[in-house]
Structure 1
């Protein structure tokens, strides 16, 4: 295949006594506002909790979703009241950071409604055939004021506020729909897969496996073509909900990856008990040339009868070394950066036009 690179103080003159009195007043105001916020919100939160436990009757699916939003909003307001009460008035930098944090949270909600999010796709290459074997779907936020906002900035906020469930569902729906479009466009059978990242919080959601099943039905996608990438720390979660989700997803036919393998704390003794299909070697191993470690992971994967994908492949030397070690799949900037769906479609067109 053709390798394509896409390069997307002056001193204060205020009377010290007056300044001290003003600060005390502001602190009292902060505490008053915090109290006035917290008192009604706590009552509302208690009522919402009764709804959540079913003590006031069963809710429809839409009602459950509205309840989640309401609970997230009350939690958000309570955090704001705590910030107001505890925020030092002589710490302007911290105040700016707090304001930006709450602004980002608000804009996340707005961004979802106004469809500011987009999926990019990075190819996964078969080292034997040198063809595209699949794509990893990666979310991007095209912010109207700040431009492109990195996932490392907004995903933690989404996890803290519970929005990760909504974002995760959108990513799954969009990625599965895109793969179904490509399968029809290029008359594919089993030669292309789609990888989607799933967070620890998503895995702890009791409804995850059911929602994945519904999305697969809605997009008419064979579950075998969907590959969920889960970090080692998520696999280490022994909660009954996480275990049930993994088992249900496996029974559906969805393939499971351990993402960033080698950077976590997974027990090798337990590794064989997990329902995994692929180990995805963290990009730091390839970039730093830890070939002995990679060789050991390949031997481990072979003994467990699972596949391996090496991330962080940026040079021809990286790729050649992985091929010599017998690594089946590679992913990295050598082949392509993450690209939008139109560019990814062009990469597939080049591949199939060369047949």
Structure 2
């Protein structure tokens, strides 16, 4: 019996005996030929990961994750092929750009294209810097600066968020260690790092955080991990265990963008949180009554509050009158690179003498 290969099938379509009726038929054929073997490979890889994850080295686990991510990419490509009516409309510019960006995202870590910027968090009473929030930026060789809004969802979709998240955490902790050594008077400085929902659902998260904190010689209380309110609401048993372990380590936990996720008071009481970060939309639109209500809620929960999006002197005065203890926003500084952030700390120390 003759075994028909993909090339044989495509040749048949191009032969005189079997004329091509439509380009959509080619799409269907390519999609089928791609998806069938790839799905089998993906299933085998998932089975291997499930059975061998505890015995594989970290390098082997990383290679397995890369293999799984690549099969998922190919399956998505086959789905695009199948859903397009004809080859010319196979890949609109935005689809082509997405796949191109995904490929480049894999290379960005290896080529040191990611950069951390830092935005200060200040005390409301005197605008003294009490910490920084680390914010990732991608210095793309072709497109220039790419914002997290564009590439973080793609990193989550492809599974790269774990690697990128670990890089951000390590870089931020290393930078804080440098600042604490360089400015002993500001040894109480804290560093805030954002976590995605996928990171929070990783069983190894709390262990990796502990290792990075130890390797950078930081006091765990210097590290503040920010999780969006939506991520808290979508918590899983693994996520809850991670939060509890992180809390036991001494790491501070923030609910970011608070006020947008419709949390219930009963659930808030169950979360091991230390700080509520009021979403910047409340300050931007002047919803002072809502902010006052959040401040009262925080007081009842015995947690601190940071108001984001402070851009004017009037915002500052209003939040000071409401009793909000900490602020963050363009009024004090935009996110800046490590050198500029170092100058902010140095300038503040000079004014203390």
Structure 1 match to 2:43: 46
Structure 2 match to 1:85: 82
Structure 2 match to 1:18: none
Structure 1 match to 2:32: 35
Specify the SS of the correspondent of 2:122: strand
1:319-353: CA deviation from partner (whole Å, max 9, x where unpaired): 01111111100000000000000000000010112
Structure 2 match to 1:154: 151
- 2:237 matches 1:256: no
Which of these residues, 204, 208, 213, is aligned with residue 207 of structure 1?
204
Structure 2 match to 1:328: 325
- 2:184 matches 1:184: no
Which of these residues, 119, 136, 139, is aligned with residue 136 of structure 2?
139
Equivalent pair of 1:127/1:328 in contact (CA under 8 Å): yes
Q: Distance in 1 between matches of 2:166 and 2:320?
A: 36
Q: Closer, same or farther in 2 for the Cα pair 1:182/1:55, shift >3 Å? A: closer
Q: Distance in 1 between matches of 2:249 and 2:44?
A: 37
Q: Distance in 1 between matches of 2:90 and 2:49?
A: 38
Equivalent pair of 1:190/1:225 in contact (CA under 8 Å): no
Q: CA deviation at 1:50?
A: 2.1
Structure 1 match to 2:297: 300
Q: Distance in 2 between matches of 1:24 and 1:86?
A: 17
Which of these residues, 278, 281, 296, is aligned with residue 281 of structure 1?
278
Specify the SS of the correspondent of 2:270: coil
Q: Distance in 1 between matches of 2:325 and 2:77?
A: 50
Which of these residues, 221, 224, 230, is aligned with residue 224 of structure 1?
221
Which of these residues, 84, 95, 103, is aligned with residue 98 of structure 1?
95
238-247 or 172-181: bigger deviation: 238-247
Q: Distance in 1 between matches of 2:277 and 2:96?
A: 38
Specify the SS of the correspondent of 1:195: strand
Q: Distance in 2 between matches of 1:196 and 1:188?
A: 22
Q: Distance in 2 between matches of 1:335 and 1:130?
A: 8
Q: Distance in 1 between matches of 2:164 and 2:39?
A: 27
- Larger relative contact order (Cα-Cα within 8 Å, sequence gap ≥ 6): 1
Q: CA deviation at 1:42?
A: 2.0
Q: CA deviation at 1:236?
A: 1.4
Q: CA deviation at 1:272?
A: 1.2
Q: Distance in 2 between matches of 1:22 and 1:135?
A: 65
Q: Distance in 2 between matches of 1:188 and 1:161?
A: 42
Q: CA deviation at 1:189?
A: 5.7
Structure 2 match to 1:5: none
Q: Distance in 2 between matches of 1:95 and 1:138?
A: 31
Q: CA deviation at 1:60?
A: 1.5
Structure 2 match to 1:269: 266
Structure 2 match to 1:237: 234
Q: Distance in 2 between matches of 1:79 and 1:120?
A: 33
Q: Closer, same or farther in 2 for the Cα pair 1:90/1:79, shift >3 Å? A: closer
Equivalent pair of 2:181/2:187 in contact (CA under 8 Å): no
Q: Report the number of matched residues.
A: 335
1:188-208: CA deviation from partner (whole Å, max 9, x where unpaired): 465210000101111011111
Q: Distance in 2 between matches of 1:207 and 1:135?
A: 25
Segments ≥4 residues shifted beyond 6 Å: none
- 2:344 matches 1:347: yes
Equivalent pair of 1:255/1:277 in contact (CA under 8 Å): yes
Q: Closer, same or farther in 2 for the Cα pair 1:35/1:92, shift >3 Å? A: closer
- Alpha-carbon RMSD across the aligned residues, in angstroms, is 1.8
